[in-house]
Amino acid sequence: MMETLTRERDFARIFEEGKRIGIGPLRLFFYRREMGPVRVCFVGRSKKAVCRNRIRRRLREAFRVHYYPIWKDQPFDLVFVGDEGIASVEFPLLVRWMGELLGRVEQDG
């Protein structure tokens, strides 16, 4: 089961000390910890709750199916932020963007 980020101080550390990368309407904030499993948060940026929830569901599913098995033991905190455009992007493109971002995290890590 994927661990999620919930503490305010964890988010503060990610946004203050972590790094940020992005592709199109998808951004990733990340922070490398010393140890522990990957912790993830998915944020949808939209005024409408239906769209926000759809963005979060799509991001969560893309990570869970394609990347969680590889990343589950990596000591990172990841925050994926999707703008409104993510809701209409084809799923394979979303998965590819996520893969490119995670590849850059491994390089910058």
The DSSP symbol for 87 reads G
**pTM for the whole thing?**
0.92
Q: Which domains does the chain possess?
A: 16-108 (3.30.230.10)
DSSP 44-67: E--SSHHHHHHHHHHHHHHHHHHT
Give 2's pLDDT tier (boundaries 50, 70, 90): confident
Q: pLDDT of 40-76, one tens digit each?
A: 999 999 999 999 999 999 999 999 989 988 888 889 9
Closest CA to 98 of 11, 5, 22, 18: 22
Between CA 32 and CA 89 the distance in angstroms is 29
The DSSP symbol for 78 reads E
